[in-house]
Structure 1
């Protein structure tokens, strides 16, 4: 049975920061919509306070997380240890999307290295925090971050990234509005 936490305390925050990869899961309201789960990495995640987290959202091949959060706000983040001590932590909550120029965007982006693929900041007001065993998660070794996202964004340049988002991120796979937020 999962252990439930009242808040993200210092020990949990430290453990979360140690994890090189985490996952975000969202789903549309429609029963025929697609549940989405995306892996995340790089130095992009922040614990803002005991019940609020955020990450710098990079341009990707899809826009499901943004589209689902815009539609209904529901989100679950999962962190798991690939080290010798097994552990899985899930943060359930309500997400919001922020764009360049918004104070929340500026604050969160300033906490992380500059990245040319940055398109938004997503915050989550955490309503449930659980910890489970993770006994089925394999032990794996981190060998490094991929830099392909940065290289692609640098090659395209700011105008190319904007055009890519307009072409590939305007709608989710279920046809929900994606990015930019006025789409």
Structure 2
């Protein structure tokens, strides 16, 4: 049976940390709803009982950041793929902290230094103030065995940087300035 919590409890925080990935759902006032798998789990941090953040790295789209700027609504979902079924959802309002923001360095301290190994690969930090925390049974989630995190994104980013010191910035300028619905993404 599902339960609603006032905050992220220590037990829920342990559950979150044990999952290999998480999902982020966002939407603007109109247009497409976006759900993205995110990981590794080290890109997610619980900042406090009602505040979380994740390190958003450069990728093919900019939907989450665009929706955060346009509307702010965000949902995080963590589900167990192990033998004990469970789903945790965190609902809130998101804001973006860009690398040139004064708050970025302090927030970055919540993440593994290895995530910053490729200069420019971190796009922003998404911070969410939560207004609902809940769990549910998760009986519909299959049992699967985790093998390892993929390193494709890191290899891709390092390859762009090897080709040109501005490789990632050039990629973002070409691919991350607007969402699929035309909402603003990465600042120009």
TM-score, normalized by the shorter chain, greater than 0.5 = yes
In the TM superposition, what are the counterparts of 1:57-136 in structure 2 within 5 Å? 57-111=56-110, 112=112, 113=114, 114-116=116-118, 117-136=121-140
Deviation at 1:9, TM superposition (A): 1.5
Q: Distance in 2 between matches of 1:4 and 1:72?
A: 24
Q: Which residue of 2 aligns with 1:152?
A: 156
1:47-80, Cα deviation, whole Å (9 max, x unpaired): 0000000011011100000000100110000000
Structure 1: which 5+ runs fail to align?
none
SS at match of 1:128: strand
TM-score (norm 2): 0.92
Deviation at 1:99, TM superposition (A): 0.8
SS at match of 1:79: strand
| 134 and 122 in structure 1: CA distance in 2 versus 1, 3 angstrom threshold | same
Deviation at 1:115, TM superposition (A): 4.2
Q: How many residues align?
A: 179
Q: Distance in 1 between matches of 2:20 and 2:134?
A: 19
Q: Is the 8 A contact 1:52 1:124 kept in 2?
A: yes
Whether 1:15 and 2:22 are equivalent positions in the alignment is no
TM-score (norm 1): 0.94
RMSD: 1.1
